[in-house]
Chains A and B, each alone.
Chain A
Amino acid sequence: MDNYKIEIPEFCLVALVGATSSGKTSFAKKYFKSTEILSSDFFRGMVCDEESSQNASGDAFDVLYYIAQKRLKNGKLTVVDATNIQQSSRKQIIDLAKEQDVHTAAIVLNLPEDIIQERNKARPERNFPERVIRQHCRDVRRSIRNLKREGFRFVYVIHSLEQLENTEIIRTKLWNDKKSEHGPFDIIGDIHGCCEELELLLTKLGYQKENQVYTHPEGRKAAFLGDFCDRGNRNADVLRIVMDMVKSGNALAVPGNHDAKLLKYLKGKSVAMTHGIDKTIAELEEQGEAFKSETASFLDSLISHYVLDDGKLVIAHAGLKQEYIGRGSARVREFCLYGEVTGEFDSYGLPVRLDWAADYRGRATVVYGHIAGTEVKSLNGTHCIDTGCVFGGKLTAYRWPEKEIVSVDALQEYYTPVKPLDTQKNQNLGDLLTVGDFNKKMHLTTELFPAVNIHENNAAAALEIMSRFAADPHWLIYLPPTMSPCETSSLDNYLEHPLQAFEYYKTRRIKNIICEKKHMGSRAVLILCRNPETARKRFGITDNTRGIIYTRTGRRFFDKLEPETELLNRLDAVLLKSGFWEDFQTDWVCLDTELMPWSEKAQALIRSQYAPTGKAGEMSLSSAVQALTQLCQEHSISDTESEIRPEDLLARYQARQQDMQHYRKAYREYCWTVHSTDDFRIAPFHILACEGRAFSQETHLWHMEMIKKYITGTDPVFMETPYICIDTSDEASIRKGVDWWLSLTAAGGEGMVVKPEFYIAKQNGTLLQPAVKCRGAEYLRIIYGAEYLEPEHLKRLKKRSLSRKRALALKEFALGMESLSRFVKNEPLYKIHECTFGVLALESEPVDPRL
């Protein structure tokens, strides 16, 4: 006997129907994975320890359906192993399937009653009375004929043991699943009978007519987004082209709302002769019955949406919500055709639509049409390519995987739109971030670091900082990472020394490193566009500015606008003169810099903490020294009696006094008063990104040289960063590096940053610190206190741990690079913001602030 074939979609909700003891559980175990089966017996046991307790059924089914719902939400086939002999219990299954937009299948085990009675007797632990079994069997038989009507899409009935033994379950792909088709595709928006434009567009895309059918010599496929007809002047011709291309395998097509209406008409139902269908119908009637029936069966065969190219691309006429992708239900089909409306009508009498794209967070790119605009509207990885050809706009194609847009202008306005194509007002508003993406535990995947987890409390802190202080998130395409110091030096008189920094890279097999002077200012990210128009188009900035300078926490650097504007103008002048814009083929740039003086941003800190500490120290220590001096001079103490010699105490206080003077000198170095923008100094050290490119693949030497070539040297505000290159395998070179650091820091310099030759350095696939800093001994007084070099202090300070700081530095670096790369790839705002948001969240982790 041939196997009894049961074909069900690979993703659906399966209900087993059968009397108790009919063998459902063994059947399920035989054909489904154990995780796919939700058995009512099991859940009865779960909630009350007894699998047979009927009192627990209510709770057991609550849990069962809860889990079923989660599984379906995650796109997993699910089998409900319960008797399901009552219509009411099956209705629960149907309702759940509708809610989750999946198909349902019923597999009925309708075995002869005597077999079941026998089995029941063989189960001593759960022996039902005969009459119960009899009743069950009767219910099963009665159920069978109703199943289809109740809403089960697929119904299979097994009548005999033999059949049961020889059953085969075949899981079929969903109709909308074309993940194995990789294109390349040319997705074409709403045509509406504009045949000439369609022909022009196909030709422009490289299609050629062969045997009356358009084909592409490189094997590309067209994908039509529906609404082939109505309003235009050659509807039948468009249908001809589309049908021929689909039939010959040169195109895919999904239906639009106009097509659904036409199909209704062709099936003999009455439709309102509005929105241009009258013209289409007239043309079809002229074509004759054969064409009409061909069209009808073509339209009837169309699937609401397709999931293409390994799930990376989705096409549907009116777009598709994330949770509907790859699902099949009347509701999904409805959405694909019409989108979602509120039920209200706007002042033009058009339905008010809900903006599903604003909420879209799926990974797949969704290309759709339906709503005519003057330009392609892209949001969160969705692209609406209906550019209103029939209204005199354009016919547009979206090329996949190139993500290019190709259009041809309409030859005329065939139809006057009720409402002007998307109003300018909407375009200017730009996109808004949604809190739901950020006020939660976040898992961020980056190219450099497998997964960065953000805890909820850190996210909450970042949300506060972003909301209260940060600049417009459209500008925040990058936040700099924290930087770890080198390992603690074992040398006397040093907490940090370059040898440890060199050692870090040397032991990790990095031969060439670069040392850059660490300027003592404040980290500043500069973004400059050539004009406000670029800022609007590329960054979504609507306040007519063309750039920004912001701090490491995303806060606008200057409280007032004037210095920012002036500095950006000066940068623009420099870049214009050096030919940067032309050479880099860009109209915006993002720079990583240090902005001086330190006192500009740290003013409050210096005046409330650093300077007062110096003053208090000076006052307090000098009065102590004075008193001790008087003690030594005027009053003799017999040495023998005294344990503490006044001279020793005096000497120690004099040393402390000296420390305090050094400390005051150290912080003063980095303060100066700004009278005009001439007094600022900006030292760029990374050219982070410009249009189409982030420069993380270039070496640091490249960055230094480009900065020298294009930015520094003309305007004194923009200053170079001194650097030297070191070979970690060469002792002489290392000595040179140490000497260089000593000369930098002797005068109180902050020190240097040591980086591997390449921006991104790895050892055996593990990301290395992108930089470690090595700070000068004098400078560290500002960090560790005036007297930190006193031996008894230094000894204790040397016990410090860098691991936490280093872990953070890596994650933040990975996120920073990721956000730049996402921005360069034109990814949606929320995808960029989650990276910068992540950096802030990580920064809220408690870490020794002195590191």
Chain B
Amino acid sequence: MANATTDAPPAAPERARRGTARQDAQSVLLLGSVFVIATCGLIYELIAGTLASYLLGDSVTQFSTIIGAYLFSMGVGSWLSRYLGGALLKWFIRLEILVGLVGGFSAPLLFILFEYVASFRLILYALVGLTGILVGLEIPLLMRILENRFEFKDLVSRVFTFDYIGALLASLIFPLVLVPQLGLMRTSLLFGALNVVVAAVALYRFAETRPYRRSFAALMAAALLALAVTFGYAGRIQRYTETLAFQDQVIFAKSTIYQRIVLTKNQRELRLFLNGNLQFSSQDEYRYHEALVHPAMQALPNARRVLVLGGGDGLAVRELLKYPQLQQIRLVDLDAGMTELFKQNHLLTALNQRSFFNPKVQVVNGDAYQWVRQDTTRYDCLIIDFPDPANYSIGKLYSAAFYQELHRLLAPGGKLVVQSTSPYVARQSFWCIAHTLQAAGFHTIPYHCYVPSFGEWGYVLAGENGHWRPNAGPLPRGLRYVTPVTIRQMLDFPPDMAEVPTDINQLNNQALVRYFEEDWGPYVH
């Protein structure tokens, strides 16, 4: 920097010494800035890469393309730096505020914008490009500011040393400290603030900034305030939503008019939560869905039509598609937000094997109760995969009145199966569902299996008659859990899950919701 101080040139040795000391301090400060901005720059890159692989799946591709795009944009920024002239320090301060804002808000912005899936990639790469260009401007600009203070070889050596040390620090603290402690959103905001602080320090340590100090100080205060408010707000959002409630990283969250859908991910598995309740883990969902579908379906070798109520994840449908004799699978799920998510998200379509795109499958977004009352089709099998009866609205879908409607929909000899919560944790609830089906005139076969992420889980198989065998027909090839032997084992209820007397769940008593509250209460509160 040509005129680092206004009181140069050094006239007396003492002044010269003092001046050199000040200049040294300023140089150290600027090199320190290199270190900080290098750390920040890499953090933004890591955030973008992590977010992209969380949100879009396929981490190798995402990381590779994000890093490539980021580095290329940095190159563009470096090239553009030649067009910056005049008061370089002023440019530097400007730049740091801008990097702080763009980089700092990148994670919150991407999380919010992910709901607009169609243009998400465009937004992602535009943001990565912008951040890259701004970060790419930083080092060349700093080197020009420092060029008169060091010899060229020292300058290059020191700047790049600090740059790479910063990168090392960033790459270590990002996975080990920042993501687990702060999460992506707060990390990004925090490092945005650090960029602004670098600008602030430069503003106050260099006398030449005096003419514009006031206006820039106001700008920085506003930027810091915005970042801090968002940081604080992120905490409030987290309290109300999921990030703290879930042990893994939240990679998708969306409130539809019916529910809050949250997807989390760790190295091993994806987990889906609806209103905070675990719906499945990709690790062991096959156990749940095989047990839901195959005991009924293996007994219906001539089945043609199946109705799935709930199950907007398409995973039960995936199991049904293993029966080539089926001609039509109709799925009725209330929430278009849910079924759309399972049609569009790469990670999720990989899990349900694009089952919703199969021509045999019809997806209807509608209210199951209304649907059942007006549907005149007869089905060979009904798969009822509703959320647990945790409130009065859902409790209606487990009522005797609802089950009575199902007689009309069942073809002669047809079977239905109801996911029936945990017979171990919610023993009364489970048997209440079985008894309610009986009261509605069905023969019931209760069974259960072990799903590690859920614990013991229960189902009730029901039909107009009691004809059913665990080895009635062939099972599809390639099942990982259900075999004729496991089906037989599923029928056995040890004493701690054995039948207990319960009321019938009716619309006018909602006995099940009350049992469910009693049963799960001690586990939740």
Physical interaction between A and B = no
